[in-house]
């Protein structure tokens, strides 16, 4: 093989290597763009992503949306006042209701028994009492309408009262 052949094959080899590198870079770039597009298209979960329940407040409350973590803190009374300074008044549904099971699992990320144990500890230590319990969606609506600082949850599809509005629920549901 002459020096001219070596020069041509050397140049050809370099071009092949650089073409392969460009091809790999392009594939990585395209995969990255596709991954970002899929993430943006999925967005953050909203209220319609929680088909089992709706989180509701009094219409006098200026809040429009909360994260699932915020709602959890409100129901566990780790946060006791709205941004306006008004006291938060969470209201629970009865232990044997399917809406409470769904809410407890998806928002509080615990089992009902674990939430009961949490409140027993709080009561025993003299720190706090659990939210009042209402036995139906209609009773939760009455409670929320009577208390401007109230927050509750209803079965999805429940007709709202005049002074009740649904919050947009943002965040990850597990």
Instruction: Going residue by residue through the chain, which has 174 residues, state the pLDDT in tens, using 9 for 90 and above.
Output: 555 544 444 555 555 555 666 666 666 665 555 555 555 554 444 444 556 899 999 999 999 999 999 999 999 999 999 999 999 999 999 999 999 999 999 999 999 999 999 999 999 999 999 999 999 999 999 999 999 999 999 999 999 999 999 999 987 655
DSSP 50-85: -TTEEEEEETT----EEEHHHHHHHHTTSS-B-TTS
pLDDT at position 149 = 97
DSSP 140-153: HHHHHHH-TTEEEE
pLDDT at position 158 = 93
| Structural fold of domain 47-170 | D-Maltodextrin-Binding Protein; domain 2 (3.40.190)
pLDDT at position 171 = 77
Residue closest to 155 by CA, chosen among 173, 171, 167, 137: 137
| Residue pair 160/166 in contact by the 8 Å Cβ criterion | yes
Lookup result for tokens 């006042």 = 81
pTM more than 0.75: no
pLDDT at position 50 = 54
pLDDT at position 84 = 92
In the chain, where are the structural domains located?
1-43, 47-170
Cα–Cα distance between 121 and 126 in angstroms, integer? 9
| Residue pair 134/91 in contact by the 8 Å Cβ criterion | yes
């Amino acid at each position: 093989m002459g020096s001219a052949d070596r020069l041509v094959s050397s140049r050809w080899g370099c071009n092949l290597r650089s073409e392969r590198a460009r091809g790999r870079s392009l594939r990585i770039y395209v995969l990255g763009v596709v991954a970002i597009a899929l993430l943006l298209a999925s967005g953050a979960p909203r209220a319609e992503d929680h088909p089992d329940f709706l989180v509701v407040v009094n219409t006098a409350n200026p809040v429009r949306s909360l994260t699932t973590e915020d709602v959890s803190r409100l129901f566990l009374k780790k946060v006791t006042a709205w941004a306006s300074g008004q006291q938060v008044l969470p209201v629970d549904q009865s232990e044997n209701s399917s809406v409470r099971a769904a809410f407890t699992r998806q928002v509080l990320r615990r089992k009902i028994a674990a939430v009961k144990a949490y409140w027993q500890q709080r009561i025993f230590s003299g720190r706090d009492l659990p939210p009042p319990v209402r036995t139906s969606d209609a009773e939760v609506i009455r409670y929320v309408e009577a208390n401007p600082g109230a927050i509750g949850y209803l079965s999805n599809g429940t007709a709202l009262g005049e002074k009740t509005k649904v919050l947009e629920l943002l965040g990850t549901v597990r």
